[in-house]
Amino acid sequence: MRKLAMLLIALTLTMTVLVGCAKKDPVTDDKGNQSGTNSNVDDKENTEKVTLQLWHYISQGDLDDFEKIIDDFNTSQDRIEVVPTYVSRDDLTKQYTMGAISGELPDIGEADSPDFASFIELGVFEDITDMVNEWGEIDQFYEGPLSTVKDAEGRIYGLPHNSNSLLMFYNKDMLEDAGYTEAPKTWAELEEVAAKVTTSDTYGFSIAAAANETTTFHFYPWLYSTEETISSLDSEGAIGALEFLTNMLNNGYMSKEVINWGNGDVKEAFAAGKVAMMINGTWQVPSLREADLGFEWGVAEIPIDKQLATTIGGEDFGIGAGTKHKEEAFEFLAYMMNAQNNADFCEAGGKIPVRKDAMELKEVWSTDPIISVFAESLDYAIARGPHAEWPSISKAIQEAVHASFLGEKTPEVAMKEAADKVNAIINE
């Protein structure tokens, strides 16, 4: 018996040792930094150098430009080292939620602008109002993006990083073949052109309507073009907006598959010549320009019902709640968000700056025939939220759009149900 017990203990010990070996040996990343989340990075290094963890979801294409700013910051001084870590957009919400419960948050973190209000409410980000006021550059930020980092009382929890909006990309060759030299400007024209250019293997038109924030992002321009808003989803105009899109789909001008298509899927379809006109974001411009598409394309405002409308998107950065290095984190934020850096990053990545003085630094936003249309659109672009329960509001809209697209409900019934859900949340 004792022998057995001894053996078992020995086995357990061996296991512990084996597993212990696999425990993190101080891994250094390719920049030679030790890394960890803020709570377990004690400044072990002999100097007082502060290591700051930064979580972001900036994709491959923009990564070099983003990391360049960080590298420049790290070499510009010897007190602070910023270590960027990619966390996918899907994982990020989960990670922030758990970080908020356990206190394991990064020093600096990125979030999609409509999500930011929820994160403020969950206590993910620090209130940095005082630091921002002392900084004195906040007047340069556009009000739209800035509204997404404020709570109901106007306290500031982060800084906007970049903006984008939706516009219509159109295949010039296809439109010309059908006898149009210009992109359609109204809903009626859009329907007419879409009907003409739709063939057996080409859809005339496409939005992206994957079952997540994408659908809401894409429905907003149509809704707001009718002069209705998120609080009047059961209005005739709002119903009409959904009816219009549903007809585009039912008439075969738009693929039924849009309900599974994200922005990227729609771009691929457009690039392959399977879609003649698509609604998509600013960020697609650089890659479409680089690609050898074999056709000419242009960008135009989204066709209107009563007024010009589009949705503004973008990313924000905040300082993780409970960080020991709030001052240093803000120092980096202020550096990353100075006019020059903001302009450089946005130019390279096909994004629009969030600062007026950054916009003035480069001509691309006023002279580039495509980018300038996007930059102008921010004058009338609508921001989603901000609302702490935005995900639930957004879900109600998504479900209404899908129900109508799939023919499960009429646009009227779908929008009235959505209105009930959304009003209940907004009027809470």
Q: Among residue numbers 407 through 426, which ones bind another protein (CB under 8 A)?
A: 408
Q: Does 264 bind another protein (CB under 8 A)?
A: yes
CB of 405 to another protein, least distance (A): 8
Continuous segment of H or E residues that includes residue 195: helix 187-197
User: Site for another protein (CB under 8 A): how many residues?
Assistant: 82
Q: What is the DSSP string of 52-76?
A: EEEEE---HHHHHHHHHHHHHHHHH
Q: Output the smallest distance, CB 186 to another protein, in A.
A: 28
**Binding residue (CB under 8 A) for another protein from 67, 68, 71, 87:** 87
3-state secondary structure at position 418: helix
Among 149, 166, 403, 418, binds another protein (CB under 8 A): 403
| Closest distance of CB 286 from another protein, Å | 9
Question: Would you count residue 232 as binding another protein (CB under 8 A)?
Answer: no
Q: Which of 166, 230, 254, 271 binds another protein (CB under 8 A)?
A: 271
Q: If you search the block for the tokens 């993190």, which residue do you land on?
A: 24
The stretch near another protein (CB under 8 A) out of 220-228, 269-277, 301-309, 365-373 is 269-277
Among 45, 78, 103, 252, the residue binding another protein under the rule CB under 8 A is: 103
Residues 223, 229, 233, 237: is their CA dihedral positive or negative?
negative
Give me the least distance between CB of 341 and another protein, in Å please.
22
44 binds another protein (CB under 8 A): no
Mode of pairing for the β-strands spanning 310-319 and 381-382:
parallel
Residues 62-81, interacting with another protein (CB under 8 A) = none
Closest separation between CB of residue 181 and another protein, Å? 25
Separation of CA 394 from chain center: 14
Residues 358-387 that bind another protein (CB under 8 A): none
- Among 212, 235, 210, smallest CA distance to 224 is for 235
Maximum C-alpha span of the chain: 92
Pairing state of beta strands 50-56 and 80-86?
A: parallel
Binding region for another protein (CB under 8 A) out of 172-180, 183-191, 260-268, 359-367: 260-268
What is the number of alpha carbons within 13 Å of residue 79 lying toward its C-beta? 6
From 77, 133, 231, 287, residue interacting with another protein (rule: CB under 8 A): 287
DSSP character at residue 232: G
With CA atoms as reference, report the closest residue to 212 among 380, 402, 427: 402
> Shortest approach of another protein to residue 176 CB, angstroms?
20
* Residue placing its CB nearer to another protein in the complex, 98 or 188: 98
List the one residue from 52, 100, 230, 352 that touches another protein (CB under 8 A). 100
* Interface with another protein, residue 246, by CB under 8 A: no
Q: Give the one residue of 260, 356, 363, 366 binding another protein; rule: CB under 8 A.
A: 260
d(CA 258, CA 283): 19
List binders of another protein among 189-228 (CB under 8 A): 201, 210-212
Among the residue ranges 101-109, 148-156, 219-227, 303-311, the one whose residues contact another protein (CB under 8 A): 101-109
Binding of residue 322 to another protein (CB under 8 A): no
Bridge partners for 131 per DSSP? none
Which residues in the 108-167 window bind another protein by CB under 8 A?
118, 121-123
Q: Are 54 and 106 in contact (CB under 8 A)?
A: yes
Amino acid letter for position 241: A
Whether the CB-CB separation of 376 and 369 falls below 8 Å is answered with no
Return the structure tokens found at 122.
């969950």
- CB 321 to another protein: min, Å: 9
Question: Counting runs of H as helices and runs of E as strands, what totals does the chain give?
Answer: 19, 9
Least distance to another protein, CB of residue 290, Å? 11
Taking CA 262 as the corner, what is the angle to CA 189 and CA 191, rounded to the nearest 5 degrees? 10
Candidates 1-9, 168-176, 227-235, 236-244; binding stretch for another protein (CB under 8 A): 1-9
3-state secondary structure of 82: strand
Please say which residue, 29 or 45, places its beta carbon nearer to another protein.
Answer: 29
Per CB under 8 A, the segment of 68-76, 236-244, 266-274, 302-310 that binds another protein is 266-274
One-letter amino acid at 319 equals I
Distance in Å, CB of 342 to another protein, minimum:
20
Q: Which residue has the tokens 């020093």?
A: 107
User: Does residue number 427 form part of the binding site for another protein (CB under 8 A)?
Assistant: no
Q: Which residues touch 100 (CB under 8 Å, ≥6 apart)?
A: 122, 123, 124, 321
Answer whether 365's CB lies under 8 Å from 352's CB: yes
